């Protein structure tokens, strides 16, 4: 099935479609149709095209386009090598050797250096401007043979109960309808769809599979600043996370000299904005965090402050017989550990393997898709346990005073580095760390119960009573 020809004869009127694999295409047949040109979509398109499949990758906007999520993890670097973009990403990124945490009830800054992880071979990551980062990955998909289209949105996806056949003899199971910027619509036929639409979650929204997280419902307000006070020397590019009474802030230095600053807060606090502008709301909250206020004392905004809500969600399913959900199209969790880009790209790697098996070995399709489901659920599950507890006083105390008994600190840093798929033996120590958390919570039972009740109230959605 791989590499079957395009079926629109208008693009190549005098020769067979297969003789012009990179001709301008508007509709027709492809083996795999990828919706969304972010990190997950570009990764899966690149790998499937390398495997010889005829891949179409459609992005509704034009690269470069603005996006938050600038902080990467050490596990990303191996993926860059796999995709062949390591040098390009290094060129646009500022080195990130670790992360540091600042608490309002502790008198020190607590650093976590990736070089202190269980496996010392992944000592750094990068902070990147997402507009340029996403552009590099998208262009790389085209270099590897995917047919990339920008400025085109998907209008409808129709799955057929039985295989159909086009005029060239290509069997297809899905019809995709797209609309370009001139409002012209085009019909595509494909054997498989990868939904990498990010937080737009095309299929999950269309079919009612999307569920807002009740454990960690939050929203974000963010801006980009120049002339912030960064860490000196090697630590300049490290991310800093500041806890405050209503959630947490990120502080992400970028190579351009701009720093991304964002607030993630509970719904009840977002209500307190009232008639203030987003900019004033963000700055007022910055003023409530002394160390962050110091770092932004001489800073100026370089773009309008923006907001995004419904920050944590998941879909009921990861796949069907002829589709799978990639990255944020399946699940998005609070970005406190900067896991979003890594999880999206890793799901692209797993998804490419699954789709290749479905197309080449149909008798193994169910097994391959079940493996994909298991693989992409693991990462969010491991991160979420900590994320759901990260603002609780007991967990904050553990983060601000880490000990390496039974190598729990090394294991935690490995988790923060996203070293969760390489076989590094961290899980016994992670279980011990969880046990320490539970024992500490029992030792402070009254405080823990009070915090549990307060947290339930905090995460109520904005459309419910607060």
Burial class (CB in 10 A: 0-12, 13-18, 19+), 318: buried
pLDDT mean over 202-207 = 97
Question: How does pLDDT run across 238-248, given as a tens digit for each residue?
Answer: 999 999 999 99
**69/239 Cα distance (integer angstroms):** 12
Question: How does pLDDT run across 73-98, given as a tens digit for each residue?
Answer: 999 999 999 999 999 999 999 999 99
Domains of the chain: 9-65+133-210+313-376 (3.50.50.60), 94-122+214-308 (3.30.9.100), 380-458 (no CATH)
Secondary structure letter of residue 241 according to DSSP: E
Contact 295, 246 (CB under 8 A): no
Q: Which residues of 248-261 are buried (b: 16+ CB within 10 A; e: fewer)?
A: bbbbbbbbeebbbb
What are 8's two structure tokens? 């629109």
pLDDT at 312: 85
Question: How does pLDDT run across 174-201, given as a tens digit for each residue?
Answer: 999 999 999 999 999 999 999 999 999 9
290 C-beta neighbours (distance < 10 Å), count: 12
**82/346 Cα distance (integer angstroms):** 11
Average confidence score pLDDT of the chain: 91
pLDDT at 454: 65
**121/286 Cα distance (integer angstroms):** 36
In this prediction, residue 268 has a pLDDT band, given cuts at 50, 70 and 90, of: confident
Is the pLDDT score of 399 beyond 70? Answer: yes
**411/425 Cα distance (integer angstroms):** 8
pLDDT mean over 415-436 = 97
Burial class (CB in 10 A: 0-12, 13-18, 19+), 271: exposed
pLDDT at 459: 60
466 CA to centre of own chain: 29
279 C-beta neighbours (distance < 10 Å), count: 14
pLDDT at 255: 96
**161/164 Cα distance (integer angstroms):** 9
């Amino acid at each position: 099935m791989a590499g079957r020809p395009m079926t629109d004869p208008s693009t190549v009127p005098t020769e067979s479609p297969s003789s012009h694999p990179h001709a301008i295409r508007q509709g027709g047949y492809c083996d795999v149709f990828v919706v969304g040109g972010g990190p997950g979509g570009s990764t899966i398109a690149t790998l499937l095209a390398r495997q010889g499949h005829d891949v179409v990758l459609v992005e509704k906007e034009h690269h470069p386009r603005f996006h938050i999520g600038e902080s990467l993890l050490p596990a990303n670097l191996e993926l860059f090598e796999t995709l062949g973009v390591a040098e390009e990403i290094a060129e646009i990124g500022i080195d990130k050797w670790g992360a540091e945490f600042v608490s309002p009830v502790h008198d020190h800054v607590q650093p976590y250096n990736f070089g202190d992880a269980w496996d010392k071979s992944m000592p750094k990551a990068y902070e990147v401007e997402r507009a340029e980062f996403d552009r590099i990955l998208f262009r790389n998909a085209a270099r590897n043979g995917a047919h990339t289209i920008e400025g085109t949105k998907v209008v409808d996806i129709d799955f057929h109960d039985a295989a159909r056949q086009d005029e060239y003899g290509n069997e297809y199971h899905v019809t995709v309808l797209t609309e370009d910027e001139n409002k012209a619509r085009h019909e595509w036929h494909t054997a498989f769809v990868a939904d990498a639409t990010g937080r737009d979650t095309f299929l999950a929204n269309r079919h009612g599979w999307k569920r807002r997280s009740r454990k960690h419902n939050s929203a974000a307000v963010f801006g980009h600043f120049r002339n912030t006070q960064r860490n000196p020397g090697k630590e300049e590019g490290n991310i800093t996370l500041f806890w405050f009474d209503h959630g947490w802030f990120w502080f992400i230095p970028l190579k351009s000299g701009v720093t991304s600053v964002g607030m993630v807060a509970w719904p009840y606090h977002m209500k307190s904005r009232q008639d203030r502008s987003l900019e004033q709301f963000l700055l007022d909250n910055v003023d409530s965090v002394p160390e962050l206020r110091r770092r932004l004392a001489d800073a100026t905004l370089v773009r309008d402050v923006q907001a995004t809500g419904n920050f944590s969600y998941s879909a009921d399913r990861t796949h069907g017989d002829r589709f799978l959900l990639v990255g944020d199209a399946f699940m998005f969790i609070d970005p406190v550990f900067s896991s979003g880009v890594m999880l999206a790209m890793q799901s692209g790697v797993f998804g490419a393997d699954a789709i290749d098996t479905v197309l080449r070995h149909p008798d193994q399709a169910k097994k391959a898709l079940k493996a994909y489901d298991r693989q992409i659920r693991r990462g969010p599950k491991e991160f979420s346990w900590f994320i759901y507890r990260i603002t609780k006083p007991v967990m904050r105390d553990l983060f601000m005073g880490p000990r390496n008994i039974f190598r729990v600190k090394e294991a935690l840093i490995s988790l923060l580095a996203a070293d969760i798929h390489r076989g590094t033996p961290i899980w016994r120590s992670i279980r011990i760390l969880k046990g320490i958390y539970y024992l500490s919570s029992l030792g402070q039972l009254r405080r823990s119960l009070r915090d549990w009740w307060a947290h339930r109230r905090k995460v109520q959605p904005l459309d419910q009573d607060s």
